[in-house]
């Protein structure tokens, strides 16, 4: 079992060039702006002295390769630069925001699984039956509604009308965090669930009609035992990769949702940075988000390997 996971170090190693590529793109962000970045950053507050000072601070007077080398060298030391807005180290801002977004994403993932697995199972038991049509209507609706709109509707209904959950914020204690994150996580889950349901429904139908499920039935297996032991584990395999891809999108989606619910995560940090032209912050968040996506990809492969004994990414298998 574990020798099949021996691909992980190699996979991490091969992620390095990707990460390096991301740093180049992130670095060039500043220089892709038309005109002088210092002027763009300062906007109408730019006096010639201030512009000159900022150029000096950003190291814009040096050749490009040297600027990149300096940027990369600082990154390796965990130095993302200093925020142009409040002069705090960007690393500090990012490390405060990362756990918030991570919790939100994980919460959203768990909620979407809690929604998807039963609905997919219900739909797959009798394809084209009444319940299946209901579930399919839900997936269509879920995919059709924009995330931010779902968020606002939930706030209006659940928070403002029913007063069950706060309209926004993050709270102070761990329990409060979960309480405050429930609605935003639910919003993300509603947008992610349809894709999971579709994939899981299709693979569950295939699994239910498979020979091995007939074998299991011939052993007297039925109901939830049959579903857990034979159907779900097989049906989950193709869905894992669907979830992996969609988690990547979810990271992007969380930026808008954090804004809607005023959550101090990476998304809020990113948007504040964009409006303030706080380039070091934007660069840092972009880099961290890219890392998220890369890590999710690797985790997907690991999970895939753990779930399906036939999958083998290790070297011996490829040789």
Please identify, among the stretches 66-74, 147-155, 157-165, 206-214, the one whose residues bind another protein according to the rule CB under 8 A. 206-214
Residues 253-312 that bind another protein (CB under 8 A): 307-310
**What contacts 240, CB < 8 A, 6 or more positions away?**
300, 303, 304, 307
222 lines the binding site for another protein (CB under 8 A) = yes
4 lines the binding site for another protein (CB under 8 A) = no
Name the residue nearer to another protein (CB basis): 217 or 315.
217
Name the residue nearer to another protein (CB basis): 124 or 255.
124
234 lines the binding site for another protein (CB under 8 A) = yes
**What contacts 35, CB < 8 A, 6 or more positions away?**
none
Which position among 114, 164, 229, 299 is part of the footprint of another protein (CB under 8 A)? 229
Name the residue nearer to another protein (CB basis): 124 or 196.
124
Please identify, among the stretches 87-95, 211-219, 260-268, 292-300, the one whose residues bind another protein according to the rule CB under 8 A. 211-219
| Beta carbon of residue 212, minimum distance to another protein (angstroms, whole number) | 4
209 lines the binding site for another protein (CB under 8 A) = yes
211 lines the binding site for another protein (CB under 8 A) = yes
How far, in Å, CA of 71 to CA of 83, rounded?
14
5 lines the binding site for another protein (CB under 8 A) = no
3 lines the binding site for another protein (CB under 8 A) = no
How far, in Å, CA of 167 to CA of 214, rounded?
50
What residues form DSSP beta bridges with 82?
Answer: 89
Residues that bind another protein (CB under 8 A): 209-212, 214-222, 229-230, 233-234, 237, 307-310
């Amino acid at each position: 079992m574990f020798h099949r996971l021996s691909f992980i170090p190699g996979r991490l190693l091969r992620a390095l060039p990707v990460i390096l590529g991301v740093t180049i793109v992130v670095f060039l962000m500043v220089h892709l702006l038309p005109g002088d970045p210092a002027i763009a950053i300062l906007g109408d507050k730019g006096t010639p002295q201030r512009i000159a000072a900022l150029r000096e601070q950003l190291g814009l007077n040096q050749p490009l390769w040297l600027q990149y080398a300096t940027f990369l060298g600082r990154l390796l030391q965990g130095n993302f630069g200093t925020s142009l807005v409040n002069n705090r180290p960007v690393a500090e801002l990012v490390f405060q925001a990362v756990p918030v977004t991570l919790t939100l994403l994980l919460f959203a993932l768990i909620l979407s699984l809690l929604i998807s697995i039963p609905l997919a199972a219900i739909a797959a038991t009798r394809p084209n039956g009444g319940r299946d049509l209901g579930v399919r209507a839900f997936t269509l609706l879920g995919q059709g509604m924009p995330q931010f709109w779902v968020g606002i509707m939930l706030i209006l209904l659940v928070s403002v009308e029913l007063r069950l959950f706060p309209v926004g914020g993050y709270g102070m204690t761990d329990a409060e965090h979960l309480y405050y994150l429930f609605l935003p996580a639910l919003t993300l889950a509603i947008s992610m669930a349809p894709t999971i349901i579709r994939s899981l429904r299709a693979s569950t139908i295939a699994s239910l009609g498979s020979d091995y499920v007939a074998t299991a039935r011939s052993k007297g297996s039925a109901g939830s035992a049959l579903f857990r032991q034979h159907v779900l584990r097989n049906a989950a395999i193709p869905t894992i990769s669907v979830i992996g891809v969609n988690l990547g999108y979810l990271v992007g989606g969380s930026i808008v949702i954090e804004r809607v619910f005023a959550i101090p995560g990476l998304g809020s940090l990113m948007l504040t940075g964009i409006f303030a032209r706080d380039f070091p912050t934007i660069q840092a968040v972009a880099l961290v988000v890219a890392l998220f996506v890369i890590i999710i990809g690797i985790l997907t492969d690991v999970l895939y390997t753990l779930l399906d004994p036939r999958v083998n990414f290790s070297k011996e298998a490829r040789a």
